[in-house]
């Protein structure tokens, strides 16, 4: 068996040398060399600089004594590269790194089992989502990330120069996935979002990733909510079953998730918050603080995951279907312990109502002509959602900052690495 990795830790005890190698697994490989059995191998192992890139031949030891990783009986080892200067960060976790250091050297800190476990879980989240959606008849799509108009408009668009024209980085595949419902009943995309929000909080990024889903021929918003709650339950239970080693490394216990999730009307949420001393301005969405407080209250009632439905129309996107009263919309949020992890709802599929909504929102229908055209040729009732991968990870793993859930951070202050 040939395995490769980087020297993480080395310790010599008398005539025995123990070397930990960080490879593809979460737990390191533990190599044990004994001077009296193989002096040449012992000398090589005992002089390996930390950070060296090596490959070794060996087999798992018949008796596994190490509690840190898988112990190997090594037959030979080859050194491919040694650091030319001391490592800029401590990789074994004895001295916890500051978040700023972790962000700067995440690519190097991935040799650490804890850092590696976070991103093995992320891989499983994406794999589980794709598996669930494909198995339930959704077709994976890829939409443009350089667009002529934003799905949400406003000041959260990143402008780019596109030859002689002005364009934007995509906030969301919203408009494109809706267009495709005119021909494909169920679509999804695992996609980046670019939003020029000036927030610099523990829950905001300017480049993030999401699982975007749209489905047609729905009877009501409930059809979409059912898809979302079943998807989230599938993802969490998948990670719970498939990533036991990673969860153990992260000291995380994931309870099994069952559906349905609690449905809470927006007005109910406001009443609950006000009765607990949290002020919510009329006609506005819930603030981050209000969401956190509501999360504590709902968790005490046994609802870690819950929907908020029936939002005021004035605080939602133009593409959501309005209720007959004209004041509410068929939009929902899915919150996980006080953090919004997904947002969606039933869309407006009637051409004339969509044009009217654009105008009421202060948008020019002429800028959305490519989008509106799709609604002229038999667009069925439809709806969808966007599920934030980093936000889901935060709540699943108990991370303190969303930046811990992304390899290369893009926020208000970072363009490198």
- CB of 44 within 8 A of CB of 79? yes
Cα–Cα distances (Å) from 226 to 161, 182, 222, 231, in that order, read: 41, 22, 6, 8
Burial 147-183 (b: 16+ CB within 10 A, else e): bbbbbbbeebbeeeeeeeeebbbbbbbbbbbbbbbbe
- CB of 162 within 8 A of CB of 174? no
Q: Say whether 197 counts as a known binding-site residue.
A: yes
Task: Extract the tokens encoding 306.
Answer: 């819950």
**Cα 156 to the chain's mean position, in Å?**
20
Active site residue 219: no
Which residue in 120, 122, 391, 403 is the catalytic one?
391
* Burial of residue 246 (number of CB atoms within 10 Å: 0-12, 13-18, 19+): buried
Which residue in 68, 130, 203, 410 is the catalytic one?
203
Which residue in 124, 172, 208, 343 is the catalytic one?
343
Q: Say whether 203 counts as a known binding-site residue.
A: yes
Active site residue 414: no
Which residue(s) pair with 290 in the sheet?
Answer: none
Q: Say whether 50 counts as a known binding-site residue.
A: no
- CB of 234 within 8 A of CB of 136? no
Q: Say whether 349 counts as a known binding-site residue.
A: no
How many Cβ atoms are within 10 Å of 98's Cβ, its own excluded? 9
Q: Say whether 359 counts as a known binding-site residue.
A: no
Which residue in 197, 222, 245, 356 is the catalytic one?
197
Short-list 69, 70, 20, 72, CA closest to 48: 20
Q: Say whether 390 counts as a known binding-site residue.
A: yes
Active site residue 323: no
Active site residue 203: yes
Tell me if residue 53 falls in helix, strand or coil.
strand
Which residue in 27, 204, 337, 403 is the catalytic one?
204
Q: Say whether 347 counts as a known binding-site residue.
A: yes
Which residue in 115, 291, 340, 404 is the catalytic one?
340
| Residue whose pair of structure tokens reads 């959305």 in the numeric block | 368
Which residue in 102, 111, 122, 195 is the catalytic one?
195
Torsions phi, psi for 344 (to 5 deg): -175, -165
Active site residue 204: yes
CA distance 321 to 218: 13
Q: Say whether 343 counts as a known binding-site residue.
A: yes
- CB of 173 within 8 A of CB of 212? yes
Q: Say whether 208 counts as a known binding-site residue.
A: no
Residue-by-residue DSSP string for 122-158: HHHHHHHHHHHHHHTTPEE----SEESS-SS-TT-PP
- CB of 37 within 8 A of CB of 31? no
Active site residue 248: no
Task: Extract the tokens encoding 410.
Answer: 């893009």
Active site residue 340: yes
Quickly list H helices, 37-112.
39-46, 99-104, 106-109
Q: Say whether 348 counts as a known binding-site residue.
A: no
| C-alpha angle 327-330-332 in degrees, rounded to nearest 5 | 115
Q: Residues forming the annotated binding site for ATP?
A: 195-197, 203-205, 340, 388-391
Q: Residues forming the annotated binding site?
A: 152, 195-197, 203-205, 340, 343, 347, 388-391
Q: Residues forming the annotated binding site for L-aspartate?
A: 152, 195, 343, 347
Which residues carry out catalysis? 195, 197, 203-204, 340, 343, 391
Q: Residues forming the annotated binding site for Mg(2+)?
A: 340, 343
């Amino acid at each position: 068996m040939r395995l490769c990795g980087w020297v993480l830790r080395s310790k010599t005890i008398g005539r025995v040398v123990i070397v930990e190698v960080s490879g593809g697994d979460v737990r390191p490989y533990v190599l044990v060399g004994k001077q009296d059995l193989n002096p040449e191998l012992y000398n090589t192992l005992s002089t390996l600089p930390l950070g060296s890139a090596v490959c070794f031949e060996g087999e798992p030891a018949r008796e596994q004594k190490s509690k840190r990783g898988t112990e190997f009986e090594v037959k030979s080892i080859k050194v491919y590269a040694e650091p030319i200067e001391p490592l800029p960060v401590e990789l074994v976790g004895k001295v916890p790194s500051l978040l700023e250091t972790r962000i700067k050297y995440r690519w190097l800190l991935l040799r650490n089992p804890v850092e590696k476990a976070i991103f093995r879980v992320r891989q499983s989240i994406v794999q589980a989502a794709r598996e669930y959606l494909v198995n339930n008849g959704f077709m994976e799509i890829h939409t443009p990330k350089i667009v002529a108009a934003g799905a949400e408009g406003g000041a959260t668009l990143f402008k780019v120069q596109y030859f002689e024209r002005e364009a934007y980085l995509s906030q969301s595949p919203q408009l494109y996935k809706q267009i495709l419902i005119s021909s494909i009943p169920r679509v999804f995309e695992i996609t980046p979002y670019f939003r020029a929000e000036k927030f610099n909080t523990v829950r905001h990024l300017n480049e993030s990733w999401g699982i975007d889903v749209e489905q047609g021929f729905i009877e009501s918003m409930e059809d979409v909510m059912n898809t979302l709650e079943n998807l989230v339950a599938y993802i969490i239970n998948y990670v719970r079953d498939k990533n036991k080693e990673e969860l153990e490394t992260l000291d995380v216990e994931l309870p099994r998730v069952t559906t349905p999730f609690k449905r809470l009307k927006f007005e109910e949420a406001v009443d609950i918050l006000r009765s607990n001393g949290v002020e919510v301005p009329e006609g506005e969405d819930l603030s981050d603080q209000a969401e956190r407080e509501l999360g504590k209250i709902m968790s005490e009632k046994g609802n870690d995951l819950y929907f908020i439905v029936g939002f005021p129309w004035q605080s939602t996107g133009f593409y959501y279907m309005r209720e007959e009263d004209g004041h509410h919309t068929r939009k929902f949020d899915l919150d996980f312990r006080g953090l919004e992890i997904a947002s969606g709802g039933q869309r407006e599929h009637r051409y004339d109502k969509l044009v009217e909504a654009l105008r009421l929102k202060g948008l020019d229908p002429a800028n959305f002509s490519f989008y509106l055209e799709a609604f002229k040729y038999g667009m069925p009732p439809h709806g969808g959602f966007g599920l934030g991968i980093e936000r889901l990870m935060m709540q699943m793993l108990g991370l303190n900052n969303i930046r811990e859930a992304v390899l290369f951070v893009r926020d208000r202050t970072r363009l490198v690495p």
